Amino acid sequence: MNFLRNLLAAIIGSLMAFGIVFFMFIIFVSLVSSAEEGVVISDNSILELQIQQPINDYVGTDDADPFAGFFGQVKGLDEIVHAIQVAKNDNDIEGISINNSFMMAGLAQTQAIRKALADFKEGGKFIYAYADYYMQKDYYLSSVADSVFLNPVGGMDFKGLSTEVLFYKDLQEKTGVKMEVIRHGKYKSAVEPFLANEMSDANRTQIKELLGSIWNTIVTDISESRSISEQDLNVIADTLGGRSPKYAKASGLIDDLLFYDQYEAKLRQATALDPSDDINYVTLSEYTRRSNRKSIHKGKDKIAVVFAQGEILYGEGNRNIIGQGIITKAIIKARDDENVKAIVLRVNSPGGSALTSDIIWREVEIAKEKKPVVVSMGNVAASGGYYIAAGADKIFAEPTTITGSIGVFGTIPNIKGLSDNIGINAEQVGTNKNSVEYSVFEPMSDTFRSVIQESIEEIYETFLDRVAQGRNITIAQADSLAQGRVWSGVDAKKIGLVDELGNLDDAIAAAADLAGTENYSIIKFPKYKTGLEKFMEDLGGVKSKIGQGFIKEEIGEETYDILKQVKSAMKQKGIQARMPFVLDIK
């Protein structure tokens, strides 16, 4: 009896303690939310632009969610661009200070922010930039500023773009863990890392041309902002003419070498402050609480923007994964809303499941029967990412977007070599000739390979048909643009895979024009979990994340990235329409 009584008392005590903690938690969050809503932005303020966390195109929590700001300060690209647009006409904001190093955003995202900053300058307000160290992406963003400053003992990186592709053939032979690869016959660069030890000439050529096209866009933009010829910028890159602060200044990449206190003196002069006055900085997180409540577009008519970001996997999907569940629901909701006059599908994806891609493609086709559908491409819209975009009435890409990669393949893990080495023998039993379809412990049979090959060819032909229909070309023409070739946004426009070069705002304007509406507001889909829901969900993964962080620290970031790529390949299920390799452009 004493045991039961003590157990009951312990349970009741734990529940009461949990209730008290939860009640205090709610009060605390309410106070924080109230404080956040009460943030005052004084006049003569400077918006400080620092983007040092990975950003999604869209975060997707409801503006009314009181926990959104408390549980995560990461902003979506849409919020960042919108904040700059609002600041342009905000009398309390005198200018912008870019103080950013090691920017964790894609090139197309960086270009979109840069374009918003260029538009901000046209309103007559200043932009200054400062860094202790400029990586190339940081400098590309900062070069739009009126004046660019660098720490006298800092540094910068300006040498042209590069990328690295990892190859796993020898690793497979040494470990006995092999990826069985089935691909369309002409899809030459597909899954090359699992079949060879080095890059093929064809693959090297296409990647070099892709990097060259993107670099040309960057150089053109910097040339216009800094009044340095494109030829001179390439000479600077070739000779490492910005490798030290004094060289960076001499070459014209930056305006002056200043310590941070000297930079702040410049900001005080720009805002007519006395040397002893404090600068009224406003962080991006603070300012978005104001800008998110201000609309650029207003009207009863609506343009729906559906954000599809991440790998394409079969299932519901979430903020970082495109699943047919969450995306098709969003498209259907926008399609059936009488106030929505057009849909913009924002795609930022390297592709993934061919089946899921086709399911989403079909919903786009149905939506087109009722209202215009325009696609806006982000950092990457390749393979499955292009698949879901192909049927749109109009496709926009950023000049630095990576797109194309039209092709399909399948990879299936096989551990026959490993199992033999460690003494494992697997025996299969089945009722029919093909009931034991495949085992990772046995070599792939010719019959099974031919069945998969047949499916690969059928899906590839279907993919080509979707592209041909959407782009109004023949199957043969679609095939000539396919075969896994990747293109920059600039080159994709030249060959007809996209219609226009432009950002999300350009795509929205085009959708409104197709719908015949001038006064419209913007509604965004899908809505993800609230800050509290996401926080509670993430609690379950804290141990895993801590473990991942420990492994990454111990083995190094590059080795950890290799493990991630191998793990991703091992997890792929079904026939894939995705980028065949990871391109981390530096």
Q: 383 catalytic, yes or no?
A: yes
CA gyration radius, the chain: 27
User: 382 with 454: CB under 8 angstroms?
Assistant: no
Q: DSSP letters along 396-446, please?
A: EE-TT-EEE----EEEEEE-HHHHHHHT-------SSTTSS---TTSPPPH
Adjacent-strand bridge partners of 67? none
User: 185 with 293: CB under 8 angstroms?
Assistant: no
Task: Please tell me the number of Cα atoms within 13 Å of 214 on its side-chain side.
Answer: 32
Separation of alpha carbons 350 and 97, rounded Å = 33
Dihedral pair phi/psi, residue 415, rounded to 5°: -115, 30
CA–CA–CA angle 78, 491, 457 (5° rounding): 95
User: 148 with 129: CB under 8 angstroms?
Assistant: yes
User: Pick the catalytic residue: 121, 159, 169, 188?
Assistant: 188
Let me know if 421 is exposed, middle or buried by CB neighbors in 10 A (0-12, 13-18, 19+): exposed
3-state secondary structure 358-390: HHHHHHHHHHHCCCCEEEEEEEEEECHHHHCCC
- From the list 106, 188, 213, the residue with the least C-alpha distance to 485 is 188
Dihedral pair phi/psi, residue 197, rounded to 5°: -100, -10
CB count in 10 Å sphere of residue 215: 21
Which stretch of DSSP H or E encloses residue 156?
A: strand 147-156
How far is residue 275 CA from its own chain's centroid? 42
CB count in 10 Å sphere of residue 158: 22
Residue 489 has which token pair?
């946004």
Residue 451 has which token pair?
């069945």
User: 340 with 303: CB under 8 angstroms?
Assistant: yes
Separation of alpha carbons 197 and 179, rounded Å = 14
User: Pick the catalytic residue: 251, 383, 405, 488?
Assistant: 383
Catalytic positions are 188, 383
